[in-house]
Amino acid sequence: MKERVTFVQPQGADIDPKLLKVKTNELQGPSVKTTREDRLTIGHDELPSELASLLSGYRDLSIRWASPSTYDTVEPFSSRLPPGIHVFYTPSSKKGEHDRLCTTLQAFGSIDCVASESFTTHGEGQMVNPPAGTFYQELENLTAFIAFATKEICAQKDSICKSRVEALSSAVGLDISWDSTLKTLRVSSLFPLIEQSISVPGSSTRRTEVGIFSKDTPPNQKPHEFGVSGLLTVLGERKEPSGTLFGFPSRHRVVDTQFSSQFVTPTGLHPTLQLKLSSNKPPITDDECGLHAFFTFPRTIFADRYQFADELFLASKNLTASRYTSLPVDLEAPVYTTKSWGSSVLLQLAPPASDAPEAWTAEVPLHLRYLKPSESGSVDIEIPYPAVFWACESSANADFSNNPFDRSRLGYDGLFSKNTVFWHTTPQPTTGTRIMTPISVPVLKQHGAALVGFGTAAAVALGFAWVLWKLAAVFAVSGYGGNLSNEEQKESKKNN
C-alpha cells in the first residue's frame, strides 16, 4: 500500500525548505495557498476479499464525485466533470454483477440504481472508446461516505485513517478507480486552491511520499508537456526534503476562459440552456482544436438528438453538431416511468470567428419530462453545469500514462483519440457558489389531479356510450344486412 500527498502552489510561489519539519511519520510546514491531492494505491492482494471479488468482474471501474460548489485549482489538477457522482465501467470476460455494484454504491447514500436499466450501456455518435456502462446521480456531499468509511474501513484505533476520512468534508473531488491490468485500486481526493497548512501524518503500514511543487519549465520541455519544481520527501526514509524539477505529458490543461450556464426565460416544458463564454479563442493554433460541452442530464430533462440533425438550426444556436448521445433516451416517458439514470451528450460548439477575443453565447434546446403533481403546481430541479473544454488533436505521439497525475476514464475522454489534449474552461456561477443550473418545472397541482382523472374517465365513458348509441341507432333503422338486395342476402346466407 502506497500513499502520495501532493501540494501544488500557483506559479511563482515557493516555500523555504527550512520551514518544513520532517519527522519519522510526519511532515509539518507553514500555512500557504495551495491545492492538495491525496492518493492511496492498494494492491489487489491487499483488498478485502468481498471487494476483490466484486472488482474481478470488471476490466476497469471508476467511481467519481465532483462538488456542486465552485472551486479554484491549478494544473496539473485541471480536469473537470459535471457535479455529482459518476460511475463508468467496462466488464471483464466475467460479466460484472449489477446487484453487488449497486449495493456497494449505497456507501455514498441513497443511490437509485436498483434496476439494471438504471445504467446506460451504449450510445450513438463519436464512439472511439466510450465506457461500456455509465451511471450518474446528483450528490450534494460525501457525508454518507465519510460515515461509512469511518465505521467500515478505518480500524477502531486508527486515528490517522479517521482524520483523513473526515477531511473529505472539505474535498471537491473524489476518485475511486480500479485497473485490472495493473491490479490496483486507486483512491484520490482533491482539495481546492485555498490557504491551508502543510501537514501530513504518515503511518508505519504504508509508504508515504510528499511533494510540494509549483509550475516551472525544465530544460528541453516540449510543447505538450507540463513542468513542476519543488521539494520531495518520503516519510521515514529522508530527514530533509530534496529539490526536484521535472516535466511530463499532460492530458488535461487549463485555458484562460470562463463560462456560466442559465436557462433562457420563460422556460416552459421546452427550455433553452444558454452557455456564456468569456472568449472564443482556442488555447493553441498549431493543433486542430474544437470547443465541446459534455452534458450529464438527469432523467428529469433530455436533449432530442434528432433536433440536432438540422445544420441551419444548429448554426443559429452557435452549435456545430451533436457528437455523442448515450442511449436509450425515451422522448415521451414521464420521469416516474423512466428507469435509466438520464443521458450524457457531447456537443461541439461553434465559436464566432473574429480577430480579437470576444465573449459569446451558445444555446442548447432541451425538453423536460412530466413530473409528479405537487401542492404548488411547480417543482424546482437543478441541472449540473457541463464540462466545457477545447479538445485539441496533438501532433505529438505523447504517452500520457507517464504523467504521475494523469486522470482518465472521465466519460468524455473515451470519445476522442488517445492523442487528444483537453483544455478546460472554468465554470462560474451566475449567483452564489453553486455550479448547478436551477429551473422551476410546471406540474399538475395535487388537489386537481383527482378531478383530472375523474374527468378523463368520464370523457372516455361518455365517448364509448355515444359510439354504442350510434351503432344501436343504425341497427334499429336498417337491421343486419338491411341495405342488401335479396340476391345479396341469399349469397350472404350461403357464405355463412
The share of the chain scoring above pLDDT 90, in percent, equals 64
Region 97-122: mean pLDDT is 92
By the 8 A CB rule, do 314 and 350 touch? yes
Most confident among 6-15, 341-350, 390-399 (mean pLDDT): 341-350
pLDDT at 324: 94
The C-alpha R_g of the chain, in whole angstroms, comes to: 29
Q: What is the pLDDT of residues 144-183, one digit of tens each?
A: 999 999 998 888 778 888 999 999 999 999 999 999 999 9
Q: What is the pLDDT of residues 293-306, one digit of tens each?
A: 999 999 999 999 99
Boundary residue ending a domain (249, 276, 309) = 249
Mean pLDDT (the chain) is: 89
Residue of 335, 370, 350 whose CA lies nearest to 441? 370
**Whether residues 210 and 272 fall in one domain:** no
**Whether residues 34 and 57 fall in one domain:** yes
Q: Which residue has the cell 496533438?
A: 394
- The domain tally of the chain equals 2
What gap in Å lies between CA 228 and CA 226, rounded to an integer?
A: 7
What gap in Å lies between CA 262 and CA 250, rounded to an integer?
A: 31
| Interstrand relation of 272-277 and 252-263 (parallel, antiparallel or unpaired) | antiparallel
For residue 288, give its domain range. 253-447
**Whether residues 360 and 404 fall in one domain:** yes
Query: Could you tell me if residue 462 is inside a domain?
Result: no
**Whether residues 240 and 277 fall in one domain:** no
What gap in Å lies between CA 82 and CA 361, rounded to an integer?
A: 19
- Grid cell at residue 190: 482533491
**Whether residues 331 and 210 fall in one domain:** no
Cβ burial, residue 37 (10 Å; 0-12/13-18/19+): buried
Q: What is the pLDDT of residues 281-292, one digit of tens each?
A: 999 877 789 999
Burial 180-201 (b: 16+ CB within 10 A, else e): beeebbbbbbbbbbeebebebb
The share of the chain scoring above pLDDT 70, in percent, equals 92
**Whether residues 261 and 237 fall in one domain:** no
pLDDT at 134: 95
**Whether residues 234 and 354 fall in one domain:** no
Q: What is the pLDDT of residues 320-346, one digit of tens each?
A: 999 999 998 988 899 989 999 999 999
